[in-house]
A and B are shown apart, each in its own frame.
Chain A
Amino acid sequence: MTVTEDAPAPELVAPEPSTVAPAPAGLVAVLASGDHKVLGRLWIVAALAQLLLVLGASLYVAAMRLDLAGLANLTDSSSDWFSQIVTYRAIGGTFLVLLPLTIGLATVVVPLQVGASTIAFPRAAAAAVWGYLVGSGLVIGAYSIDGGPFGSSRDGIRLFVAALALVVVSEVLAWICIMTTVITLRAPGMTLARTPLFSWSLLIAGAVWLLTLPVLAAMLVITYVFVRYLGDDSGGIYARISWAFGPPAVYAFAIPVLGFIATVVPVFSATRHHLNRYARIAISAVGALVVGGWAIPSFVGESTPWLYKLPWVAVSFLILIPVLALVGLWAATLRKGRVTLASPLLFAVASLVMLLVGLLAGAVQAIKPIKTLVDGPGSSLYGTSWTIAVASYVLLSLAIALLGGITFWAPKLIGRSLREGAARGVAALLLVGTVLWSFPDLVSGVLGQGGDIPGPVEENVSTIEALNAASLVGGVFLALAFLGFLSLVVRAIGGREQPGDDPWHGHTLEWATSSPPPPGNFASLPEITSEAPLYDARHREASTP
């Protein structure tokens, strides 16, 4: 007789608990990764690739402005190609390049700075980056079939609106992950008051974007409905989007700049940030002020003009107070310490100068009596190329800060350092390029040149054309700087020189792990008793007999 036994139930034996899974390799390491460093790199690489397209579009627009008479023909109703490129330059530059680049750097750096082994909701963070990649590809696809704002392909326009909504939703998701990391995954001992200032600035910037981007997404949904069911034309689309990168909403892009400078200045002064707590309050104040993105002049309702004009004027001036306070704190920090003029500090100084000029120009355009020099009573500076210059200064200050951030955190991002001398050259070129690119637009705005899509100019034509030529030269400088920076990164990746764990003698936790950091980020963390735990640790060691 055969005895049959029931097959033994398979045991679910749990091996020794291991909190950190081994890093996957090959394609899986990219497609299926939830590691914040991989995701951050994806954001950065994709954004830099988009940057090349935006650069091309910007140079094209700048070149077209050399001939104002020809430009008037280009912008008439029979041709929408030029107008579409103008809108791509602005929309692509903000939502496909600068915001993703900020998110990418934040995705890599924030978990390291707060001493976390992972980003919060890592799979949502992965969904955000893939959503952005798919959405941005579709946005470009829509432009390529004549579907951007002012386009003539109705299917293309619908695709553009839906794809941009996907990009915006992905960016909201990414900000939620970054903010949650700062709020909930800080290492033991790191109170909110001890959070590194870069992470703090991203928490504030994230809060602003969390209030702003869903409004933009809702606006896009409404636009889709208008285009799809009510036969709305494509001309109104740009107005429903462009408020998000016009003053004062554009000042939201300045918040990470402040965080970057506040991180770099103490490191290269080899001292603590002077009155760290007040720097935190000042950055928060900037965040609180730029939430008034709705308060822009083009929203003025006839029944309640004060509701829009008054906050707009107030924000344009008040925002200078916390920024100037920060400048004072940084000056005190530099004065207190021993300054090393390394490339990240040069990037920080360049971005700060450009930001200050942008904010001052923003305040000037809010002064009602200051008008253009057009014959007759003149008209408001708002809406001329002056407004474009304000946005350019602020956005380019962010671009400079982000490239500075990549230079500073390169050891953690790619495991290599960029060449110091060349990086300094790039910082200087960016500064010159930004001035040449934006300052002529301030002057031509006073002379009456129109904004985003300039209309016909009847006075001072030759002067404005000369200023536009100077602006084009600035654009070429900027393009050379960006391309030079990309080549620096590529060369560094191909290089063999190891930068060490803490090449800059940093103050915050990201420098307490290896370069690049391993899966799980930290083997152990130092004691955290202030906002600069590594600085504390070094000084404890130095004072120990």
Chain B
Amino acid sequence: MFTTGSKTFLGIGTFLLVLAAVYGWTTGGTGLGPVTAGYNGGVGDHLGYSLLLSFGLLAVFLGLVAVATRDAESSALAELAGTESAPAEAAPPGPAYQPVFGAFGAGLVVLGLVVSNVMFVAGLFVLLAVLIEWMVLDWSDRATGDPAANRLVRNRLMAPLEIPIAGILIVGGAVAAFSRLLLTSSVLGAVAVAMGLGTLILLVGIFFAARPKASPNLIAGVLVVAAIGIGVAGVGAAARGERVMEEHDESTEQDEGTGNEVPVTPGTNKSATTDEAEGEG
């Protein structure tokens, strides 16, 4: 009944519990306190007694778990399950991006703690999304015995959510990054950036249109590089800030003009100015 692992843990547990009782009595414990965890008397030194008792109970618990699972031996598990052979071992999982995105989210949270609340919250959202994706993936992994069918099950559930959200994020991110890039450039530079990027996109489009058999990996690679490029450029541009915009004061412009051409609205400063000018004249 008692396996090697369970004997180890139960032995350690018993030893620690006895030690706790002895320790309790030798450090001022009274009556049955040290064997009743203080219910019927004092336990002596609280700190040492608590440590010994906690570790003792923990070891006993682990020992009982080891008895129940027969040291997690696969032959014993088969016996418990009532099958002739040991249960099939878990298959290695297919590729999953959740861990790398999760780490990215955790990194955002850490950076956000120092840099900005927006980044911190964004990191939490990434972690939440990863958590949901991970749970669904884990559930779908056990749907059938075949990885391909499991992927299908997962995609049916998640693709209607993932594709629109990913689309919004990608387009929104690209627009935001592009706008930052244009706003940080000089007036002429913004025109040059817009034209240059437009030309580049056109050339890449022509390139792939002329090669219908281009490898999907190549297309994916170009898109990833472009996304990273515009993302990095956008972040850099945002950090640099917008260019100095020349403020146009409308009243000044109007004063500098003919004055009489401005439609006069009675009761406004502008009308007063115009009236005064006319009066002086």
Q: In the complex, which residues of chain B have a beta carbon less than 8 angstroms from the beta carbon of A163?
A: 110
Establish whether residues A159 and B94, one from each chain, have CB atoms under 8 Å apart when the complex forms.
Answer: no
Set B4, B89, B96, B115: member contacting A34, Cβ < 8 A: B96
Interface residue B72 (Cβ < 8 Å from any Cβ of A): yes
Q: Name which residue of chain B comes closest to A281, CB basis.
A: B8
Query: Which stretch from B97-105, B179-187, B206-214, B251-259 is at the chain A interface?
Result: B97-105
Q: In the complex, which residues of chain A have a beta carbon less than 8 angstroms from the beta carbon of B152?
A: 12
Set A33, A134, A162: member contacting B113, Cβ < 8 A: A162
Interface residue B36 (Cβ < 8 Å from any Cβ of A): no
Q: Which of A183-197 contact B (CB under 8 A)?
A: 183-189, 191-193
Interface residue tally on A, bucketed by range: 35 or more
Establish whether residues B149 and A188, one from each chain, have CB atoms under 8 Å apart when the complex forms.
Answer: no
Establish whether residues A20 and B86, one from each chain, have CB atoms under 8 Å apart when the complex forms.
Answer: no
Establish whether residues A184 and B99, one from each chain, have CB atoms under 8 Å apart when the complex forms.
Answer: no
Binary flags per residue of B173-198, CB closer than 8 Å to A gives 1, else 0 = 00000000000000000000000000
Give how many B residues have a beta carbon under 8 Å from the other chain's beta carbons. 46
Q: In the complex, which residues of chain B have a beta carbon less than 8 angstroms from the beta carbon of A309?
A: none
Q: In the complex, what's the smallest C-beta–C-beta distance from B89 to chain A, in angstroms?
A: 6
Interface residue B147 (Cβ < 8 Å from any Cβ of A): yes
Q: Which of A11-45 contact B (CB under 8 A)?
A: 12-21, 24, 26, 28-29, 31-35
Q: Which of A118-135 contact B (CB under 8 A)?
A: 118, 122-124, 126-127, 129-131, 133-135
Binary flags per residue of B64-105, CB closer than 8 Å to A gives 1, else 0 = 000000011111000000000010111111111111101110
Establish whether residues B111 and A31, one from each chain, have CB atoms under 8 Å apart when the complex forms.
Answer: no
Q: In the complex, what's the smallest C-beta–C-beta distance from A182 to chain B, in angstroms?
A: 10
Known pairs A14-B146, A14-B149; A32 contacts B95 (CB<8 A): yes
Q: In the complex, which residues of chain A have a beta carbon less than 8 angstroms from the beta carbon of B86?
A: 188
Bound Cα distance from A470 to B107, whole angstroms: 41
Interface residue A519 (Cβ < 8 Å from any Cβ of B): yes
Interface residue A322 (Cβ < 8 Å from any Cβ of B): no
Establish whether residues A188 and B75, one from each chain, have CB atoms under 8 Å apart when the complex forms.
Answer: yes
Bound Cα distance from A28 to B73, whole angstroms: 34
Set A12, A35, A126, A187: member contacting B153, Cβ < 8 A: A12
Interface residue A359 (Cβ < 8 Å from any Cβ of B): no
Q: Name which residue of chain A comes closest to B113, CB basis.
A: A162
Q: In the complex, which residues of chain A have a beta carbon less than 8 angstroms from the beta carbon of B74?
A: 186-188
Interface residue A425 (Cβ < 8 Å from any Cβ of B): no
B-side interface mostly? helix
Known pairs A186-B72, A192-B4; A127 contacts B103 (CB<8 A): yes
Q: In the complex, which residues of chain A have a beta carbon less than 8 angstroms from the beta carbon of B94?
A: 21, 24, 34
Bound Cα distance from A429 to B73, whole angstroms: 44
Interface residue A166 (Cβ < 8 Å from any Cβ of B): yes
Q: Name which residue of chain B comes closest to A182, CB basis.
A: B72
Q: Which of B2-21 contact A (CB under 8 A)?
A: 3-5
Bound Cα distance from A521 to B62, whole angstroms: 30
Establish whether residues B100 and A16, one from each chain, have CB atoms under 8 Å apart when the complex forms.
Answer: no
8 A-B residue pairs with CB within 8 Å: A24-B95, A118-B93, A127-B103, A134-B107, A162-B114, A188-B75, A191-B73, A520-B92
Interface residues of A (CB under 8 A from B): 12-21, 24, 26, 28-29, 31-35, 116-118, 122-124, 126-127, 129-131, 133-135, 137-138, 155, 158-159, 162-163, 165-166, 170, 183-189, 191-193, 224, 304, 307, 519-520
List the 10 shortest-distance A-B pairs measured between CB atoms, nearest first: A130-B103, A32-B95, A126-B99, A127-B99, A134-B107, A17-B145, A19-B91, A118-B92, A14-B149, A162-B110
Other CB < 8 Å A-B pairs besides A129-B99, A134-B103, 14 of them? A12-B152, A14-B149, A17-B144, A17-B146, A20-B91, A34-B95, A122-B92, A126-B99, A133-B103, A166-B110, A188-B75, A191-B4, A224-B113, A520-B92
